[in-house]
Amino acid sequence: MQNPNKPRPEQEAETLLPRSEGALALAPTYQNPAATLTPPPQGDIGSSSDAPTMGDFSHRRPAPAAVLLLGSVVAGRYEILQGLGQGGMGTVYKAKDLELDRLVALKVVRPELAQDPAIIQRFKQELVLARQVTHRNVIRIYDLGEAEGIKFITMEFVEGQDLCSLLAERGTLPPAETVEVMQQVCLALEAAHAEGVIHRDLKPTNIMRDKSGRVVVMDFGLARLLEGEGITQTGAGALIGTMAYMSPEQALGSHLDQRSDLYAVGLIFYELLTGKEPYKAESALASLLKRTHERAAPVTALDRTIPASLSNVVSKCLERDPNQRYTSAKELLSDLDRWQRHAVAAPFVFPEVRTWARSHRRWMGVAAAAVILAVAGLLLDRTFRPAIGQQQVAAKPEVSLAILPFRNASGDTALDWLGPSLADMLSTDVGQSSHLRTVSPDRLHQVLHDLRIAADSSVDPAMLRRIGEFSNADTVVWGQYARFGDQIRVDATIQDLKHDRRAPLKAEAASEKDIPRAIDALGEAIRQNLSVSPEVIKALQASSFQASSKSVAALRDYNRGVQLLREGKNLESLKVLQLATKEDPNFALAFSRLAEVYSALGYDSEAERAAREAVDLDESLPAAEKYLITANQARVAKDYSKAIAEYEELAKVSPGNTEVQSSLGGLYENTGDFDNAQAHYAKVLQANPSDIGALLATGRVDIESGEPQKSLDPLNRGLSLAIQVDNQEQEALVRQALGIGYAQLNKLDEALKNYQQSLEIKQRLG
């Protein structure tokens, strides 16, 4: 148990939170004149986890319970062997049951509680509930007894440490050990919840681990049936529970169910991994208030070596809205089991990355000390988590189309926004089919950046070949536009690089308000000039859509905001997207993108609100746009299973969109489902063998799968391409992965060389 001379701060701060005015009085102190309590030695352990709770009658230390002499016998049956400590409900002793010849923990109930018949009756009810839960990970309650005016409870004695003292001793636990502990806690809660019992006061001092590694959950003294009242209150409107581990709904006096226990699991999980509380504040009350309106920083923000997939599990437990948490201990246990299986198969750790928002990544530098440790085999870095498997990939589409940003030939800077916007809107206006792969605007932006091609560059044959090579496109559309009075004229060219054919395309808009109609006309012209069958053209027409807004000003700001988002200029993007939503309050996709920017900037509450707004507005939208919006909302809320389901639907209506496949790969990574991540990353690479990110992912997964030799081929191909286009960010990441691969192969010189080169690049880039 915890050293009684060093109480935890949150325990010292625990107090009764009245919801109505009134004085709180202490019951008179009671002492058994015939006994004195020998204080327990430091580090003494047992089943006493009874730290003060909000159910205590004072914020001061509780009045002592009756104290018993060591060697004395209670009720003619229980020999007192050792004092284990004093808590909110009473004093706990290690005792021997002389009748059954076994050790027990004997808790003497505090006199002010023992003298209240109503409270004793409630304790009896709670003991009945606790005894309904029979599981190896739940402490066994034996009896509530009375002798010589002393009320006491007997229970199973556990020789071990509570998690509080374990944390005090070690600071943190490694992820694998933490998962093993939390798996057993989940098993205990699963058994309790199956009986309709919630704990309501789960905390590190109520969880013990014995010498064999068995974990037990204790003190169901505050538990109640899900549909019953239990001992919810001790007075007029007073809350019961330990403030530091209380869920937001418990703090607000709202309805509680099993998800409240899972929130406490998240708090404990967080503390075991990081050694810190997620809502650290000057007082337990301030901490409690913070968690009712703030989202906890992910554990990876405190320690990047913690696997991101595990961090996501913790974050889901800590969602303020119970509907966003795990629905049951069984569901949480399933994710922990899945993580554990993959952790055993993939012992190397890499840094988290959001594969669905490449322009928003925060690239983590490697410390010089980590380089040395990595070469020694102690790899502290975490680069990525996906896995590429041997599953078959879909057949290659007949046509791969890249639509370049259009050039402003009018000299009117007020129309600069239209260049990238034309390309973006045409990419969805052309339509989607398994026979057509349209290079996503995000991917094309990266290709143009790698090739050092400005958006307003004049196109020549050599440039087209380079773009085709790096985007894996065989058909390219480019062009320019100019204003003549109010009229806007667009002149474009579609070139089939495979068959060396080109065709001129034209469209006119009577004014800016007429631009969406002109884009429709240009999209139809592109469809008619693709090397596909009439049946495919019909399918493309049926799936065609544009960002749904009737406001040209909103479309302009939306597309400007998206462009800034791709360039990583999140703050600028935020301002422009906010304008777009004001110009058209019904622009669902603009709200969805706004949520993405808020999330990238760490404004979680605003991100959730914008995402919900987008979902509320998407009823009449095309299927592809609707799936994108709902998937983004689920992703912002960290509901990865829902996000995966929506992206899978989006993949059906946009089968050639590799950004969708990449997003799915990333989402499956975050849930630890590496087999499915394999299939989607493989599709990305098959669509474009020159995709540096996909080559890097392939190599990383080979390493995690225990095949470092196999990783060298894709990683070296990725390195060659990164050097060729002078993409230093990617080069640094590839070299880091190579360092890990070579270290696993015990080629330490090669590992050191790649780590050093990666580190030099990262330091240079800042």
Query: What's the token pair of residue 632?
Result: 């983004």
Residue 645: is it exposed, middle or buried by C-beta count within 10 angstroms (0-12/13-18/19+)?
A: middle
Which pair of tokens denotes residue 363? 């690239």
| Per-residue pLDDT reduced to its tens digit, 140-195 | 888 888 888 888 888 889 888 899 999 999 999 999 999 999 999 999 999 888 88
**Would you say residue 84 has pLDDT above 70?**
yes
Q: What is the pLDDT of residues 710-735, one digit of tens each?
A: 889 889 988 888 887 777 878 888 99
Mean pLDDT of the region 71-80: 93
Length of the chain (residues): 766
Amino acid 297 reads A
When mean pLDDT is compared over 181-185, 298-302, 557-561, 668-672, the highest value belongs to: 181-185
Give the pLDDT confidence score for residue 756 in this predicted structure.
92
Identify residue 558 by its one-letter amino acid code.
Y
Highest mean pLDDT among 10-14, 128-132, 364-368: 128-132
Cα gap 326→318, rounded to integer Å:
9
Structure tokens at 396: 């290659």
Task: Produce one character per residue of 274-313: b if its CB has 16 or more CB atoms within 10 Å, e if not.
Answer: beebbbeeeebbebbebbeeebbbbbbebebebbbbbbbb
Rg (CA), the chain: 32
Report the distance separating Cα 434 and Cα 654, nearest Å.
8
Q: Average pLDDT for residues 196-217, to the nearest whole number?
A: 89
Per DSSP, what are the bridge partners of residue 107?
Answer: 92, 153
- The set of residues, in sequence order, having a beta carbon less than 8 Å from that of 617 and lying 6+ positions away, is 586, 587, 588, 591
The reply to whether the predicted model has a pTM over 0.75 is no
Q: What is the 3-state secondary structure (H, E, C) of 546-609?
A: CCCCCCHHHHHHHHHHHHHHHCCCHHHHHHHHHHHHHHCCCCHHHHHHHHHHHHHHCCHHHHHH
Q: Residue 515: phi, psi to the nearest 5?
A: -60, -45
pLDDT at 538 over 80: yes
What does the alpha-carbon distance between residue 335 and residue 670 come to, in Å, rounded to a whole number?
10
Q: Confidence band (pLDDT; 50, 70, 90) for 82? A: very high
Whether the CA torsion 646, 649, 651, 653 is positive or negative: it is negative
Q: What are phi and psi of 4, to 5 degrees?
A: -65, -20
**Are 192 and 198 within 8 A, CB to CB?**
yes
DSSP 245: G
Rounded to whole angstroms, the Cα distance separating 102 from 154 reads 12
Q: pLDDT for 363-391, tens place per residue?
A: 233 333 333 333 333 333 333 333 333 33
CA distances 332 to 12, 184, 232, 264, 587, Å, are 31, 11, 26, 13, 36
The CA distances from residue 498 to 400, 459, 502, in Å, are 10, 18, 11
Fill in the DSSP letter of residue 57: S
Question: 434 and 656 in contact (C-beta within 8 Å)?
Answer: yes
Looking at the DSSP bridge assignments, the partners of residue 106 are 93, 154
Phi and psi at residue 302, in whole multiples of 5°?
-95, -30
In this structure, are strands 78-86 and 487-496 parallel, antiparallel, or unpaired? unpaired
Residue type, 520: D
What pLDDT does 10 receive?
Answer: 37
**In the prediction, which pLDDT does 91 show?**
85
| % pLDDT > 70, the chain | 75
List, as one string, the DSSP characters of 156-185. Answer: E---EEEHHHHHHHHS---HHHHHHHHHHH
- HSE, side-chain direction, 13 A CA sphere, residue 484: 6
Q: Is the pLDDT of residue 657 over 50?
A: yes
* Residue 658 predicted with pLDDT over 50: yes
Closest CA to 632 of 643, 621, 623: 643
- Helix, strand or coil, per DSSP, at residue 209: strand
Beta bridge mates, 169: none
What is the predicted pLDDT for the residue at 30?
Answer: 28
* Catalytic residue annotation: 201
Tokens of 480: 């320019």
Rounded CA gap, 577 and 554, in Å?
8
